[in-house]
């Protein structure tokens, strides 16, 4: 197949013909899961429904989900890594199970994509002390015409899927395609990397608990995932993902802008293409992310700055519109599938422009500084002071300094950098608090009180409703606190009263509020609640309120609880599936 870009359309219509309803891709930032920065798999936005919530679109769904994985960000530059990718999926929410799933996967691969059966192999779960061997999938695959020699049984490392440590999960069966012109071996060997994974059907019927045990979910679900970029590469017979039709227009544009061939410049070109595309998808997303020094904004900043650095490397005039031209191509290519690209086009262009202006002011000087400093160093290590100066004065994300250093065969004292960074953060925090005290005394004080009240509320909810309660979001203004937490149902009036009373009781007890700095691991061991760990640091601040609450938090907090006054819950309502919201005030 020469052009497989229409794979998404084919996938959607195939599953629509099997009674599925198409749903829109969720935003790139998970709506109620502050523990991860971005959606990393198609199933993430559907977790509440896999757990039993009713989905408004029914029990058979099909979609393509925008996914972003940043743990491999520095790997981008080779043939296969991307920071953004799309995942195609069909879903059964307690509807069909193994027989239909596998038969439809087989039908789609062989009848719609016309892949010859000889090029296919599959793996199924071999069974262990927790879960039995998947005999059913084996017999379904055999009945469809997959030879036993092409079926391998593997353990949990391969044929089991879960999004994190706990949550909905299940065994899976995976499909592989023989991507090579070599003769196809009769027997499938999972170690032979000429076999490329193209699809994963997960039978999501279990829930994994914190203690490692499994229980069955109320319904048997199916979550399938097909990575779009990889399958297009397979279908178009390309071993470099960036050579597929997905990238043709953008790649050709970049070749034209740089006035250089792709061959010989692959690494920088792939980085630019990947990073600009991801920056387009992050900044166009309705989550409204802007470049910054924290969380998603920091990833966006890193992507743009790294792309700029590589553009410079290719001698592109970085003050020209090279980035905008590439962004417009991506917007054009994808807007049919993601309307936000067209809707937020101006936002995207402005994000790129502003960030480029900011970085350009210092990039040149920073690179000179870097060259100057490395001439002086003795032990091949860029020390923390240089790394920090490049960050603080020249806006070099630490990862950029590490990459530049790597190109010169040097390393960077990143641990030392982190320490300096932390000390600097403390300083600016104190400084900004100082400013608040001077100028806007009332504001800062009341917000600090609400911070502490939020911890009390979190702990009280856990005590009254149960340990399933976890923070899902929090927002504080000078007028009120707003707190989102996991709970399957509406909180009764009586329970709300108990929560309110308990918080007021703890306020009256005048508990001391204190903090300790410890490693993340120790904090978790100590049973600290934590959703907003500072992602730069391995060390975290753990706030305790007497023995009543322990939470990872940056602060600030009051020193004693009796200054909070009287706590009152004003409202309890649904926030989203499985998440409730409380608004409360101090009076
Ligand atoms: N959740 C599975 C995966 O990401 C299938 O969608 O592979």
Per mean pLDDT, which range of 316-330, 365-379, 437-451, 536-550 is the poorest? 437-451
Q: What count of other Cβ atoms lies within 10 Å of the Cβ of residue 189? A: 11
**Helix extents (H) in 153-294:** 228-235, 248-258, 266-284
The helix or strand, by DSSP H or E, that contains position 105, with its residue range, turns out to be: helix 98-107
Q: How far is 541 from 526, CA to CA, in rounded Å? A: 12
In angstroms, the CA 557 to CA 514 distance is 8
Residue 58, Cα to own-chain centre: how many angstroms? Answer: 26
Q: Which residue puts its alpha carbon closest to atom 6 of ligand 1? A: 225
Look at strands 549-552 and 567-576 and give their pairing.
Answer: unpaired
- Give the integer Cα–Cα distance in Å for 235 and 249: 18
Residues with CB under 6 A from ligand 1: 41-43, 89, 161, 200, 202, 223-225
pLDDT score at 532: 46
Position 82 confidence tier, pLDDT thresholds 50, 70, 90: very high
Atom number of ligand 1 nearest to Cα 163: 1
Res. 273 pLDDT band, cuts 50 70 90? very high
- pLDDT at 282 exceeding the cut of 80: yes
Cα(208)–Cα(153) distance, integer angstroms:
22
Phi-psi region of 458 (alpha: psi -120 to 50; beta: other; left: phi over 0): alpha
Q: Where in the chain is the domain with CATH 3.30.980.10?
A: 444-586
From CA 482, how far away is CA 453, in angstroms rounded?
Answer: 11
Residues 132 and 153: their CA atoms lie apart, in Å, by: 12
Q: What is the mean pLDDT of the chain?
A: 89
Rounded to an integer, the average pLDDT of 232-242 is 94
**Top mean-pLDDT range of 161-165, 239-243, 291-295:** 239-243
Q: What is the pLDDT of residues 299-326, one digit of tens each?
A: 999 999 999 999 999 999 999 999 999 9
**Pairwise pLDDT comparison (104 vs 536), residue with the higher score:** 104
Q: How far apart are CA 298 and CA 134, in angstroms?
A: 43
Residue 32 CA to ligand 1 center (angstroms) comes to 19
User: Is the pLDDT at 404 greater than 80, yes or no?
Assistant: yes
150-182: pLDDT as tens digits:
999 999 999 999 877 888 999 999 999 999 999
Q: How many CB atoms lie within 10 A of CB 435?
A: 11
The percent of residues above 90 in pLDDT, for the chain, comes to 66
C-alpha of residue 454 to centroid of ligand 1, in Å: 35
**Confidence bin at 63 (pLDDT 50/70/90):** very high
> pTM score, two decimals?
0.72
Atom 7, ligand 1: which residue's CA is nearest?
Answer: 225
Quick one: pLDDT at residue 289? 93
For 50-87, the three-class secondary structure string (H helix, E strand, C coil) is HCCCCCCCCCEEEEEEEEECCCCHHHECECCCCCEEEE
pLDDT at 427: 58
Rounded distance between C-alpha atoms, residue 289 and residue 282, angstroms: 7
State the distance from the centre of ligand 1 to the C-alpha of 124, rounded, in angstroms.
Answer: 15
Assess whether pLDDT exceeds 70 at residue 539: no
Confidence of residue 534 (pLDDT cuts 50, 70, 90): very low
Distance 160 CA to ligand 1 centre (A): 10
Cα separation, 459 vs 499, whole angstroms: 9
Average pLDDT over residues 368-384: 89
Residue 2: per-residue pLDDT: 57
How close is the Cα of 379 to the center of ligand 1, in Å? 45
Strand partners of residue 513: 545
Q: Report phi then psi at 220, rounded to 5.
A: -90, 120
The alpha carbon of 179 and the centre of ligand 1 are apart by a number of angstroms equal to 21
Confidence tier at 441 by pLDDT (50, 70, 90): very low
How far apart (Å, rounded) are the C-alpha atoms in residues 106 and 102?
Answer: 6
pLDDT of 33: 65
In contact, 177 and 239? CB cutoff 8 Å: no
- Residue 495 to residue 460: CA distance in whole angstroms: 10
State in Å: Cα 50 to ligand 1 middle.
13
Confidence of residue 472 (pLDDT cuts 50, 70, 90): confident
Mutate to test the pocket of ligand 1, among 66, 89, 208 (most ligand atoms within 8 A of CB): 89
- Please state which of the ranges 218-222, 316-320, 447-451 shows the lowest mean pLDDT: 447-451
Q: List the single range of 96-100, 200-204, 520-524 with lowest mean pLDDT.
A: 520-524
- Report yes or no: 43 and 113 within 8 Å, Cβ to Cβ: no
Contact call for residues 74 and 270 (beta carbons, < 8 A): no
Residues 6 or more apart in contact with residue 355 via CB below 8 angstroms: 291, 300, 301, 304, 305
What pLDDT, on the 0 to 100 scale, is given for residue 351? Answer: 97
State whether residue 232 is helix, strand or coil: helix
Look at ligand 1, atom 4, and give the residue with the nearest C-alpha.
41
For 279-372, strand residue ranges (E) read none
- Distance from the alpha carbon of residue 60 to the mean position of ligand 1, in angstroms: 16
Instruction: Take atom 2 of ligand 1 and give the residue whose Cα is closest.
Output: 225
Q: Is 61 exposed, middle or buried (0-12, 13-18, 19+ CB in 10 A)?
A: buried
CA-angle at 23, arms to 20 and 29, nearest 5°: 145
Q: Given this model, what pLDDT does residue 537 score?
A: 44
Q: Which atom of ligand 1 is nearest to the CA of 42?
A: 6
pLDDT number for residue 68: 94
User: Ligand 1 pocket test: which of 11, 44, 47, 87 has the largest number of ligand atoms within 8 Å of its C-beta?
Assistant: 87
Residue of minimum CA distance from atom 3 in ligand 1: 225
How far apart CA 318 and CA 355 sit, in angstroms, is 12
Task: Quickly state the pLDDT bin for 438 (edges 50, 70, 90).
Answer: very low
Rounded to the nearest 5°, which phi and psi values hold at 538? -90, -25
Atom of ligand 1 nearest to the CA of 226: 6
Q: Evaluate whether 544 touches 515 at the Cβ level (below 8 Å).
A: yes
Ligand 1 mean position to 240 CA, how many Å?
23
In this model, does residue 430 exceed pLDDT 60? Answer: no
Half-sphere exposure of 472 (CA within 13 A, CB side): 21
What residue spans in the chain does CATH classification 3.30.930.10 cover? 7-242
d(CA 226, ligand 1 centre) in Å: 8
With the most atoms of ligand 1 within 8 angstroms of its CB, the residue from 208, 222, 223 to mutate is: 223
User: What is the distance in A from the centroid of ligand 1 to the CA of 163?
Assistant: 8
Closest to 98 (Cα-Cα) out of 69, 146, 140? 140
Q: Which of 14-18, 85-89, 304-308, 376-380 has the lowest mean pLDDT?
A: 376-380
pLDDT at 61 over 50: yes
Q: What is the pLDDT of residue 533?
A: 43
pLDDT surpasses 80 at 439? no
Q: Name residue 102's beta-bridge partners.
A: none
For residue 263, the cross-strand partners are none
Atom of ligand 1 nearest to the CA of 89: 6
Q: What is the pLDDT of residue 554?
A: 61
For the CA of 43, the closest atom of ligand 1 is 1
444-586 fold: 3.30.980
Atom in ligand 1 nearest the alpha carbon of residue 225: 6
Instruction: Express the helix, strand and coil content of the chain in percent, nearest 5 each.
Output: 45, 20, 35
CATH tag for 7-242 (out of 1.10.3130.10, 3.40.50.300, 3.30.420.280, 3.30.930.10): 3.30.930.10
pLDDT digit string, tens, across residues 485-522: 999 899 999 999 999 999 999 999 999 998 777 777 78
> 46 C-alpha vs ligand 1 centroid, how far in Å?
12
Atom 5 of ligand 1, nearest CA residue: 225
The pairing of strands 21-22 and 567-576 is unpaired
Alpha helices in 221-264 (DSSP H): 228-235, 248-258
| Residue 81 alpha carbon to ligand 1 centre in Å | 17
pLDDT tens for each residue of 120-150: 999 999 999 989 999 999 999 999 999 999 9
The reported pLDDT for the residue numbered 518 is 74
Pocket test for ligand 1, best of 25, 41, 158 (most atoms within 8 A of CB): 41
- In which element (H, E) is residue 16 found? helix 7-16
Closest C-alpha to 221, from 207, 201, 202, 204: 204
């Amino acid at each position: 197949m020469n052009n497989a870009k229409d794979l998404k359309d084919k996938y959607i219509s195939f599953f629509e013909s099997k009674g599925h309803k198409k749903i829109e891709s969720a935003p790139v930032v998970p709506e109620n899961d502050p523990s991860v920065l971005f959606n990393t798999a198609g199933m993430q936005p559907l977790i509440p429904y896999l757990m039993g919530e009713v989905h408004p679109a029914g029990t058979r769904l099909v979609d393509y989900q925008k996914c972003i994985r940043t743990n491999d960000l520095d790997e981008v530059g080779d043939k296969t890594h991307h920071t953004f990718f799309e995942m195609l999926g069909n879903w059964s929410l307690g509807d069909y199970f193994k027989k239909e799933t596998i038969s439809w996967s087989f039908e789609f691969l062989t009848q719609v994509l016309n892949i010859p059966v000889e090029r296919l192999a599959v793996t199924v779960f071999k069974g262990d002390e927790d879960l039995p061997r998947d005999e059913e999938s084996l017999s379904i695959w055999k009945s469809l015409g997959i030879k036993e020699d092409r079926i391998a049984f593997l353990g949990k490392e391969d044929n089991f899927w879960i999004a994190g440590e706990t949550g909905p999960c299940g065994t899976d069966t995976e499909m592989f395609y023989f991507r090579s012109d070599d003769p196809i071996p009769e027997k499938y060997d999972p170690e032979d990397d000429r076999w490329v994974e193209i699809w994963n059907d997960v039978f999501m019927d279990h829930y994994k608990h914190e203690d490692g045990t499994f229980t069955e979910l109320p319904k048997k679900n199916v979550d399938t995932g097909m990575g779009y970029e990889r399958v297009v590469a397979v279908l178009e017979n390309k071993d470099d993902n960036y050579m597929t039709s997905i990238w043709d227009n953008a790649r050709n544009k970049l070749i034209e802008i740089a006035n250089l061939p792709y061959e010989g410049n692959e690494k920088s070109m792939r980085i630019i293409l990947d990073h600009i595309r991801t920056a387009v998808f992050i900044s166009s997303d309705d989550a409204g992310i802007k470049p910054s020094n924290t969380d998603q904004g920091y990833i966006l900043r890193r992507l743009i700055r790294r792309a700029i650095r590589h553009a410079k490397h290719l001698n592109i005039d970085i003050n020209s519109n090279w980035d905008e031209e590439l962004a417009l191509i991506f917007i054009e290519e994808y807007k049919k599938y993601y309307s936000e690209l067209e809707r937020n086009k101006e936002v995207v262009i402005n994000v790129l422009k502003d960030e480029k202006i900011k970085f350009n002011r210092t990039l040149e000087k920073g690179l000179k500084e870097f060259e100057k400093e490395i001439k002086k160093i003795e032990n091949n290590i860029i020390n923390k002071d240089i790394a920090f100066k490049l960050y603080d004065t020249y806006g070099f994300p630490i990862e950029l300094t590490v990459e530049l250093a790597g190109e010169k065969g040097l390393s960077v004292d990143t641990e030392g950098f982190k320490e300096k960074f932390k000390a600097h953060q403390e300083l600016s925090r104190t400084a900004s608090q100082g400013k608040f005290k001077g100028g806007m005394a009332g504001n800062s004080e009341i917000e600090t009180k609400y911070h502490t009240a939020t911890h009390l509320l979190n702990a009280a909810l856990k005590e009254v409703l149960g340990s399933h309660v976890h923070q899902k979001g929090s927002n504080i203004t000078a007028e009120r606190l707003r707190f989102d937490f996991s709970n399957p149902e509406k909180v009764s009036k009586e329970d709300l009263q108990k929560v309110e009373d308990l918080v007021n009781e703890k306020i009256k007890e005048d508990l001391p509020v204190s903090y300790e700095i410890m490693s993340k691991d120790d904090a978790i061991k100590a049973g600290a609640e934590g959703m907003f760990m500072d992602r730069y640091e391995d060390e975290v601040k753990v706030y305790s309120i007497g023995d009543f609450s322990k939470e990872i938090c940056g602060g600030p907090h009051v020193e004693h609880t009796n200054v909070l006054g009287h706590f009152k819950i004003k409202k309890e309502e649904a926030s989203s599936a499985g998440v409730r919201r409380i608004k409360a005030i101090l009076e």
